[in-house]
Amino acid sequence: MVDDVDLKILDALQSNSNLHQAEIGRRVGLSAASVNERIHKMERLGIIRGYVALLDDLKLGRDMAAFIEVYIDHPRHEKRFVDLMGQLAEVQECHHVAGDFSCLIKVKVRDRRALRALVLDRINALPGVRQTRTILVLETTKETARLSLLPPGSDPTRGRAGHSRRRETGRKV
């Protein structure tokens, strides 16, 4: 489905989705037109689902983060619960998990009052929710949506076969 060059293109886009295709092409040894074709192919296949701006939650006043463990009393309630979580703007992630609880939710809100309202008035009030446990984040040391695509220590600026690209003079660059 994807080859090593596609992975390098994806890695470049994850670093900066505003990179010009000519710059990506320079990094991976392709023309801008070839990069464009590959990006469109990966969009059509659903490998690239979209492009987003990364926002500073502190500067926007949404810096209270929490993880909420949700215990659902019967599996028949899980699908509806997960669907409803997808509609809540404060919910950044919702994972159906194995273990003692049913779902793990990551939320970001303005303050304690907003968190309280979300948990008590909206999440706990849903059908099938037996119990929740909220874990407040004191500090975030790493937060990324980036996937590890290239082997550790690989150079994403190397050409298709992993060799240094040559200038028209034949010298290595």
CATH number of the domain encompassing residue 131: 3.30.70.920
Question: What does pLDDT average to over the chain?
Answer: 89
In this predicted structure, the answer to whether residue 156 has a pLDDT above a threshold of 90 is no
pLDDT band at 160 (very low <50, low <70, confident <90, very high): very low
CB under 8 A, 24+ apart: contacts of 30-36:
30/5, 30/160, 35/9
In this predicted structure, the answer to whether residue 162 has a pLDDT above a threshold of 50 is no
Residues 79 and 40 both lie in one domain: no
Residue 145 has a pLDDT of: 87
- Contact between 70 and 81 under an 8 Å Cβ cutoff? The reply is yes
Q: What is the pLDDT of residues 133-148, one digit of tens each?
A: 999 999 999 988 889 9
- Please give the Cα distance from 10 to 16 (Å, whole number): 10
Q: What is the pLDDT of residues 89-138, one digit of tens each?
A: 999 999 999 999 999 999 999 999 999 999 999 999 999 999 999 999 99
pLDDT band at 150 (very low <50, low <70, confident <90, very high): confident
Residues 93 and 132 both lie in one domain: yes
106 - beta bridge partners?
67, 93
Residues 40 and 70 both lie in one domain: no
Residues 40 and 77 both lie in one domain: no
Residues 75 and 117 both lie in one domain: yes
Residues 74 and 104 both lie in one domain: yes
Residues 71 and 130 both lie in one domain: yes
Q: Is residue 37 part of a domain?
A: yes
- Please give the Cα distance from 109 to 129 (Å, whole number): 21
Total-model pTM: 0.79
CATH number of the domain encompassing residue 10: 1.10.10.10
CA 48 centroid distance within chain: 11
* Domain boundaries, position 35: 4-44
- Please give the Cα distance from 151 to 156 (Å, whole number): 10
Q: How many domains is the chain built from? A: 2
- Contact between 86 and 147 under an 8 Å Cβ cutoff? The reply is no
Q: Is residue 159 part of a domain?
A: no
Residue 71 has a pLDDT of: 97
Q: Taking residues 35-51, what's their average pLDDT?
A: 96
In this predicted structure, the answer to whether residue 33 has a pLDDT above a threshold of 80 is yes
Torsion of CA 15, 151, 139, 71, to 10 degrees: 110
Residue 155 has a pLDDT of: 62
Residue 161 has a pLDDT of: 42
- Contact between 13 and 50 under an 8 Å Cβ cutoff? The reply is no
